[in-house]
Structure 1
Amino acid sequence: MVPYALIAEPDPHRAAGLLSLVAGEGLEGVLARDGAEAQEVVRQRNAPVLLVTDLALPRVDGFTLLTWLRERKDASATQVVVVTAFDELRVRAWQLKDALGIHSLLSRRAPVDTVRETVRRVLSGQRPLPAAPAEVSDEEEKRRLERIASMRLVDEGPPEAELQGLVTEVAHAFAVPVALLTLVLGDRQWFKAHVGLPPSLAKDRGTPRDWAFCHHVVQGRESLVVPDATRHPVFRDNPLVRDGIVGSYAGAPLVTPGGEVLGTLCVIDTRPLMLGTEDLAALRELARRVAGDLEMKSRGHPALKESVRAAKEPVLTEATALAQLREAIQALDVATLLVAPGRRPFACNAAMAELLGVPMDRFPGMPFDAFCQYVEGLTASPSGRVPELDLAAESSRGLHLTLALELPRPRRVRWVARPFPIPGGVAQLLTIIELGGVAPREERERGLRVDALTGLATRRTGEERLLREIGRCRRDGLPCGLLLVDLVGLGRINVTRGFDAGDQALRDVARRLDGVGGTSGFTVRWEGGTLLVALPGGDAVGVEALREQLLAETDAPLVHTAVAMVEGEEDPQGTLARAHATLARAKAERRARTTPG
């Protein structure tokens, strides 16, 4: 097997930076968006030479991933670097570093050069440079609490109906019993809106801050997911976990447009929580919108209106103008670099970092000529001659150039620089736009969710939905059945009649299966010629009847089927493994019957 570095990181933009970093060390980088996906990569490729991982991973958390990895004989030489935003998780990991085989622990806020130097030292067997923890200062916390007070968000009245409706919809959307909109105060967390809480907590509308999972979100300023709190080394002794109120947690920060973290929008289950990266992204987006709405409502408070009228109109300076523009470009899907007067790169958005394969924090402070040299190094020109990359003349309407990039992947792009005046001089927006035949971001994301051949959900999307439905059925006391359908004759069709015929056969069966489970059921292209039909609420008799109906209506030699029912408190992954084992046995028996003896 080729040596590789495994990056376990849910955030695609940070992942791009880490992949670029390990590539600079001569390693192939392989990305896993959650802990379960990281385990699957290791099963397929054996253990990596380097693992860079967060501790707060969806589906399987970082502690569990590292424990599992160290149980493998081929992982004894794997070097591990942990990069996480959560100080208390990092402290606990340091206490367990020998058992977990951790070679270095870094804050998410560590400079990229520190991360790069740490990886180099770990790979070469040197002692990593000590990294001071980047904790929230007392001054930052004071400003945060003052902001909550000035917005007058805490009151003694009942929760607002609009916010109650929001958390109720969130709970339904994520198939969990509890959803909360919390404010993290000095010594407690306060529930501004809540659904599904036990009566005692609902009456108090809060808990001590020491108990609050949401405290970690505020401290880290990032989303936190704890798939199984009962086994988590940081949270398993939490009173809410011991009392059976919290079995799993996912929370996203309420970040105002001014950058203060007020609290969280979070979901809680009493059972393991199998949310995927797409679910967390949706939760983050909801939290961002709610924080913006709270900000707008606070401006309408009478006392605040009076203070605004009494205040002098703020003067727009170069610094404030650049800060406002920096916030604005973050919402753009087009790769954009903001250049301050004096040709100083000031900030870029995530799209630019992703397109060039460079972490976002590399751009501020980089000389513009150095930026141009970096882009020139990514070009595909065999002669080494490329259009002269530069900013536009300040009196012009803009500079437009076309060039071909080879790295991180081949594509043609348009370089566009546009000048505009701000206090203190002329700034420029530099955009790099992909040309010709490149799918928009929405289409690329859809390709990860929908199988292009059959139109069914992909395995990654389907597995996340399946695990949520299993959890829902368990809470509601309903059965849940799985039907695996394998096109055993697919390979033979491809060989004898061509791949077009094989693709058509697979589409025909997919079309037959799609929708057979009614409104709650769904079908997934699981792998190759295997499709999975999930039947939440379907009992064993109904699932078996569906299987027999399918065999009667389909060319029997073409498909083979296997049924598995969710049993008791069996782990959802165990149910999937048992379904696969059932199908494997059935296929082996079929081969034995059809192979000449």
Structure 2
Amino acid sequence: MPRYALIAEPDRHRAAGLLSLVQQEGLEGVVARDGAEAQETVRLRGAPALLVTDLALPRVDGFALLAWLRGRSDAGGTAVMVVTAFDELRVRAWQLKDSLGIHALLSRRAGPEAMRDGVRRALAGQLAGHGQLELNAEDEKRRLTRIEEMQLVDPGLPDAGLQELVTEVAQAFGVPVALLTLVLGDRQWFKAHVGLPSTLARDRGTPRDWAFCHHVVQGREAMVVPDATRHPVFRANPLVREGIIGSYAGAPLITSTGEVLGSLCVIDTRPLMLGPEDLAALRELAGRVAENLEHTSLVTRPRPAAPRPQGAPEPVLNEAAALALVREAVSALEVPVLVVAPGRKPFAANAALAELLGLPEDRLAGMPFDSLCQHVANLTADPGGTLRQLDLAAEGSRGLHLTLSLERPRPRVVRWVARPFLVPGGSAQLLSLVDLGIGADLKAQRERLLRQDALTGLDSRRVGEERLAREIARCRRDGVPVSLLLVVLADLATLNRTRGFDAGDAALRELSRRAEGLCPPPGFVVRWTGDTFLIALPGADAVGAEAMRQALMDAPGPPACVAIAVTVRGEEDPHGTLDRAHAALARAKPERKPASEQG
């Protein structure tokens, strides 16, 4: 078997760059998207000549992967290069470099030449890299200034819409705790939270030294800690020792100008077995939330006044002049905004609001505020209840946040935000209607991200495990057999290396299409791991399953595959059936020579 390099990296684009580096050194490259997949690769192929790994891997973290590898008798000659974005994880890895057998230890921010030098030094058994923190005081100053400018830290009650969001995130990921955090100078602050112990919920934060989210902000990347109780960096954390955090996954809230505000994170008291797809879904949600926070801040925070020349008289504005300035600013905004003058006098609005509410702009310009509220209420399913809520929007002295579900002119969820400001003559209101994209649309998208494989459109492994357990239980009740197939795309690593990742993706899509075409209802196909599909066959016995396996193997044309079939035995636990299937697949893979060896 040729010498190979194993690259444990969830991000496919970074994996492609590392793959190119190891190929330049004459090694075959194999990519694993998480720590468990990397372990499976080593079990099937033996220890690699080189392991390139991150430390924050899904399912099995990099520290655990390295400790496991060093426990194998065939891994004594394996060179290891660690590449990670998280400084404090890298510092700890440097302290453990001898016991973990690390030869090169690089920051994610290292350039191509440093990466290439790290690979070569690791293969030569020489030490490369360092375990020092890479602090950037200017970046941190800009980040904190951005949080202050956006006025995100509000001592009032958490925003109801954000509370709803984190609740839905916790439910979608099947965890007890979800947080939307801002990382400040010396503490983390919970802008929204669900599932926290009462003391943390009351304080709405912790010291920054305790914050897992601090690492997400520092590294500017999503981070997962599958088991914090065993992690060499986090097991001494007070929140871990107290049993509040057993596992963690968080994604950064990055603004359009590049500052990291904090994170959207999920927490469990038990080990968290999120896969790469789950982490990608969390990143997607965090990006949407950051965009929404920035959008809301844009229309609610006051603009700084222009500097006044020394000695110039203080300008005096009457109510009309003050509102005229506001109207001018509102008309230039691309987000739906209106201004209500003191006493609910005629307001100023912009074209974006007219479009959102389905009104001609000239009609909106002359509409009394009460008529506008009635029009908005009529767009909802409960006009009377909505109107009573909107009546408060121009009366409250502290502002109001409402989440409204509009049914017309098209279904959408919007946030009605009212912020008072003083003008000569009293208190005016600046109101904005922000199209959240969080609600029915985002909830459906979130479910799709978590439950559907983006590449093939098949069910994800999480959904497959749920469906398989249900089908096995049903078949037992009905007294009928149930079988399953594991199908692996042959030579995916070679295909990615020689023809590129697009060709590999096309082969995976073709194999999934072929499997679905051969799978009769009520059977179903699942994207199980990176190159492997599971086919569940309720009602099929061993003979029927073998026939389908043979049909897949004998199908003409590319892509080639390796498949095995197993039948559930009596009252066997589904995990036991899957273990037998994986063992059979491991035995079947070596029996098929790579395409390069076939004559």
TM band (smaller chain)? 0.5 to 0.7
Q: 1:409-436 CA deviation, whole Å, 9 max, x = no partner?
A: xxxxxxxxxxxxxxxxxxxxxxxxxxxx
Deviations along 1:121-174, one digit per CA (max 9) or x if unpaired, are 22123343x447452222322222122112111111111111112112211222
> Whole-Å Cα distance in 2 between the matches of residues 192 and 208 of structure 1?
15
Q: CA deviation at 1:51?
A: 0.6
Q: 2:303 aligns with which of 291, 302, 305?
A: 305
Which one of the candidate residues 542, 560, 568 is aligned to 1:562? 568
Residues 115 and 524 of structure 1: CA distance in aligned 2, closer, same or farther (over 3 Å): closer
Distance 2:533 2:284 in 1: 36
Cα distance between partner residues in 1 of 2:544 and 2:37:
35
RMSD: 3.9
| 1:39-66 Cα deviation digits (max 9, x unpaired) | 1111111111011100000111001111
Q: 1:92 matched to which residue of 2? A: 92
Relative distance call for 1:175 and 1:525 in structure 2 (3 A) is closer
Q: Structure 1 residues 269 and 27 mapped into 2: Cα distance closer, same or farther (>3 Å)?
A: same
1:456 & 1:563 partners in 2: Cα distance?
27
Call closer, same or farther: CA 1:456–1:180 in 2, change over 3 Å.
Answer: closer
Quote the Cα distance in structure 2 between the aligned partners of 1:250 and 1:51: 24
**Is the 8 Å Cα contact of residues 59 and 274 (structure 1) preserved in structure 2?**
yes
CA gap 1:44/1:132 in 2 versus in 1, 3 angstroms: closer
Equivalences for residues 385-534 of structure 1 within 5 A: 449=453, 457=459, 461-462=460-461, 464-465=462-463, 485-486=483-484, 510-514=519-523, 531-532=535-536
- SS of residue paired to 1:31: strand
Structure 1: distance between partners of 2:87 and 2:117: 21
Q: Distance in 2 between matches of 1:108 and 1:262?
A: 20
Aligned to 2:285: 286
- Rate the CA distance shift 1:510–1:176 in 2: closer, same or farther, 3 A: farther
Normalising to structure 2: TM-score of the pair?
Answer: 0.58
Checking the alignment, whether the CA contact within 8 Å between 2:7 and 2:18 is kept in structure 1 is yes
* Mapped contact 2:223–2:250 kept (Cα < 8 A): yes
Q: Report the residue type matching 1:10 in the other structure.
A: P
For 1:498, the equivalent position in structure 2 comes to none
Q: Give the equivalent residue in structure 2 for 1:256.
A: 255
Secondary structure of the residue that 1:141 maps to in structure 2? helix
Q: Distance in 2 between matches of 1:210 and 1:108?
A: 22
**Per-residue deviation, 1:261:** 0.8
Residue equivalent to 1:411:
none
CA 1:556–1:582: 2 relative to 1, 3 Å: closer
Preserved contact between residue 562 and residue 583 of structure 1 (Cα < 8 Å): no
C-alpha distance in structure 1 between counterparts of 2:572 and 2:203, whole Å: 37
**Partner letter of residue 245 of structure 1?**
I
Specify every segment of 5 or more residues in structure 2 that has no aligned partner in the other structure, as ranges.
310-448, 470-480, 487-511, 548-564, 585-599
Q: 1:80 to 1:159 in 2, by over 3 A?
A: same
In the alignment, which residue of structure 2 is the partner of 1:241?
A: 240
Question: What is the Cα deviation at residue 264 of structure 1?
Answer: 0.3
Matched AA of 1:512: P
**What is the deviation of 1:101?**
1.0
Matching of residue 230 in structure 1 with residue 267 in structure 2: no
Distance, in Å, in 2 between the alignment partners of 1:484 and 1:269 is: 34
Instruction: Name stretches of at least 5 consecutive residues in structure 1 with no aligned partner.
Output: 313-444, 472-482, 489-502, 516-521, 534-546, 568-574, 586-597
Q: What CA deviation, in whole Å up to 9, does each residue of 1:158-208 have, x standing for no partner?
A: 111111121122112222221110001111110001111122211111111
Q: Which amino acid aligns with 1:210?
A: D
Structure 1 residue aligned with 2:5: 5
Q: 1:210 to 1:43 in 2, by over 3 A?
A: same
Q: Is the 8 A contact 2:92 2:131 kept in 1?
A: no
Question: Which residue in 1 is equivalent to 2:71?
Answer: 71
Distance 1:144 1:72, change over 3 A: same
Q: CA deviation at 1:251?
A: 0.4
Q: How big is each residue's C-alpha offset from its partner over 1:423-450, in whole Å with a ceiling of 9 and x where there is no partner?
A: xxxxxxxxxxxxxxxxxxxxxx99x948
Partners of 1:9 and 1:54 within 8 A in 2? yes
Give yes or no for contact 1:255–1:291 (8 Å, CA) kept in 2. Answer: yes
- The answer to whether structure 1 residue 50 and structure 2 residue 50 are counterparts is yes
Compute the displacement of 1:70 (Å).
0.9
Match of 1:198 in 2: 197
In structure 1, what residue type is equivalent to 2:90?
R
The offset of 1:563, in angstroms, is 5.8
Q: What residue is the counterpart of 2:40 in the other structure? A: 40
Superposition deviation, residue 561 in structure 1 = 2.6
In structure 1, what is the Cα distance between the partners aligned to 2:308 and 2:247?
Answer: 45
Give a deviation string over 1:93-128, Cα, whole Å, max 9, x none.
Answer: 112111111112111111221111121122123343
State yes or no: 1:217 paired with 2:216: yes
Q: Does 1:275 align with 2:281?
A: no
SS at match of 2:535: strand
Q: Equivalent pairs: percent with the same residue?
A: 60
1:520-569 Cα shifts (integer Å, max 9, x gaps): xx967799896348xxxxxxxxxxxxx7xx369996996863169898xx
**Relative to 1, partners in 2 of residues 1:456 and 1:47: Cα closer, same or farther, differing over 3 Å?**
same
**8 Å Cα contact 1:82/1:106 also seen in 2:** yes
1:78 maps to a residue whose letter is T
Does the CA contact (< 8 Å) of 2:523 and 2:536 recur in 1? no
Residue 18 and residue 67 in structure 1: after superposition, are their counterparts in 2 closer, same or farther (change >3 A)?
same
Q: What are the superposed Cα offsets for residues 196-229 of structure 1, whole Å, 9 maximum, x if unpaired?
A: 1122211111111111100111111111100111
Displacement of 1:293 in angstroms is: 1.8
- Aligned-partner SS, 2:519: helix
Corresponding residue number in structure 1 for 2:163: 164
Question: Alpha carbons of 1:305 and 1:68: their partners in 2 closer, same or farther (altered >3 Å)?
Answer: same
Partner of 1:434: none
- SS of the aligned residue for 1:7 comes to strand
Contact 2:91 2:133 in 1 (8 A): no
Instruction: Write out per-residue CA displacement over residues 11-66 of structure 1, whole angstroms, 9 at most, x where no aligned residue.
Output: 11111111111111111111111111111111111111011100000111001111
Contact 2:484 2:545 in 1 (8 A): no
- Could you tell me how far apart the structure 2 residues matched to 1:582 and 1:50 are? 29
Pair 1:110 & 2:116 matched: no
CA contact (8 A) 1:178 1:194 kept: yes
Change (3 A) 1:470 1:239: farther
Are the counterparts in 2 of residues 456 and 525 from structure 1 also a CA contact under 8 Å?
no
Q: Distance in 2 between matches of 1:143 and 1:107?
A: 22
- 2:321 — aligned with what? none
Q: CA deviation at 1:231?
A: 1.2
1:101, 1:584 → 2: CA distance? 29
Which position in structure 2 is the counterpart of 1:82?
82
In structure 2, distance between residues paired with 1:61 and 1:276: 11
CA distance in 1, matches of 2:114, 2:168: 42
* Rounded Cα–Cα distance in structure 2 between residues aligned with 1:107 and 1:505: 42
SS state of the match for residue 2, structure 2? coil
Distance, in Å, in 1 between the alignment partners of 2:140 and 2:517 is 59
Q: 1:142-181 alignment to 2 at 5 Å?
A: 142-181=141-180
Provide the C-alpha distance between the structure 2 equivalents of 1:566 and 1:228, rounded to a whole number of angstroms: 28
**Pair 1:260–1:125, CA change in 2 (3 A):** same
Matching residue's letter, 1:84: T
Amino acid at match of 2:150: M
CA drift of 1:255 comes to 0.9
1:16 maps to which residue? 16
Contact 1:513/1:523 (CA < 8 Å) preserved in 2? no
Please tell me whether the aligned partners of residues 248 and 270 of structure 1 are also in contact (alpha carbons under 8 angstroms).
yes
Aligned residue type for 2:49? V
CA change 1:289–1:564 in 2 (3 A) is farther
Check whether the contact 1:109–1:134 (CA below 8 A) recurs between aligned residues: no
Distance 1:68 1:16 in 2: 25
Amino acid at match of 1:251: G
